[in-house]
Amino acid sequence: MSTGRTHSSDSDQRSQYLTRRGLLGAVTAGATGLVAGCTGDATTSTTTTSSSGKSELSFTSGPSNSLAFGMGNALAAVVQDNSELTVNIKSGTSGQSIALVGRGETDISFGTTLVGTRAKNRTGLFSDVEFSQTLLQLPSFYFMKLGAFVDAATDVEYFGDLAGKSLGPGPSGASYWDVWEVALKKALDIEDLQVENSGVGQLSDILSSGQATAVGGPILSNNVTPGFMQQVLSQNSVRMLSYRDETLGAIGGDSKTPLAELKKDTVKNIDEFTAQGDTAPTVSANYVLWTSDAVPIETIYTLLKTSWENTTALSNTHSAFEVWTAKDWYMRNMTPEVPVHPGAAKFLKELGVWSDEYTVGSV
């Protein structure tokens, strides 16, 4: 895969590209502490009990102004208002935050099941990161349906047609890229794909100027179209790319790249679709929450039970929480490859959605 130039952008719209060295440096430095509910030192964790008797959790929930960060703040506010638990929000990328959990420097993080599994197995970027605690899985957080668009006047219809051309997937190191890259490798020789990284706010300009043949990323995040993607669609005449049948078979047969259908009438301003019918195939980047064996059972149970009992308040605070009102949502993104925190298992069993395909970790 060849890498094009990275376009400058506002820092709150980009995440640092985490090479193995970059991840180690980020973990050593710790995440940036920001206010939500309470502030916290990113290098000082784990679960504590305050002088008032309340339990406290630290949650590294995404870069500032990201979907994950907004959801983290909403979750913290609702949980604090309805329980004896305080959730202190910090900013940080998903790969960084998962590593911080393993090192005992934050209690909860977010990330795709693919990245979390790599962290648990110490592969890829995590091969040189030392963990002092055992990584455990929590329920679903959010999903992103990933897709790409070209100028409707071009003859590019499928991802395989991008061989020798360029794709703007958003920021370098975007948390969804690991999943999307696996899928793209099934569609074309990715070494023939020129990647033009940029801030998400620049995707529309990159497409209209011809700096990239296609641009893309999350079309839906928990059934909400991000503002930057709305900008791409409203400012350009676009065609949504699809995958050829043989590619769809390869993607669908890989647990790392789950397919998800996009109902065409749920997203406005898409002029043409390569896919026939009422839906178009997308690859879903599925995010869960992550924690460790250092966090008590009742603390995690309280977090999840309080969230479930206050889904209306969560939805009113942030629309991305609307999917949390369905019981089957909580295990939808989870993977059997990583043990589940026993506090989460207790909650999921009470909810009636637990599957014996999963294992319960120890604390």
Question: Which residue in this structure is represented by tokens 């920001």?
Answer: 34
Q: What is the mean pLDDT of the chain?
A: 87
pLDDT of 10 over the 80 cut: no
Span 274-282, average pLDDT:
98
Amino acid letter, residue 280: A
Phi, psi of 112 (to 5 degrees): -70, 155
- Split at pLDDT 50, 70, 90, the class of 250 is very high
pLDDT of 284 over the 90 cut: yes
Span 200-208, average pLDDT:
95
HSE-up of residue 237 (Cα within 13 Å, Cβ side)? 3
The per-residue pLDDT for range 105-128, each reduced to its tens digit, is: 999 999 999 999 999 999 988 999
Sequence-separated (6 or more) residues with CB below 8 Å from residue 30: 41, 42, 43, 100, 105
As to burial, measured by CB atoms within 10 angstroms (0-12 exposed, 13-18 middle, 19+ buried), residue 181 is: middle
pLDDT score recorded for residue 63: 83
Sequence-separated (6 or more) residues with CB below 8 Å from residue 349: none
Residue 317 · residue 82 · CB < 8 Å: no
pLDDT score recorded for residue 29: 42
Span 297-319, average pLDDT:
96
pLDDT of 327 over the 80 cut: yes
Strand partners, 89: 59
Angle, vertex CA 331, rays to CA 325 and CA 333, nearest 5 = 100
pTM of the model: 0.85
The per-residue pLDDT for range 28-83, each reduced to its tens digit, is: 443 333 223 333 333 344 556 544 445 899 999 988 878 889 999 999 999 999 99
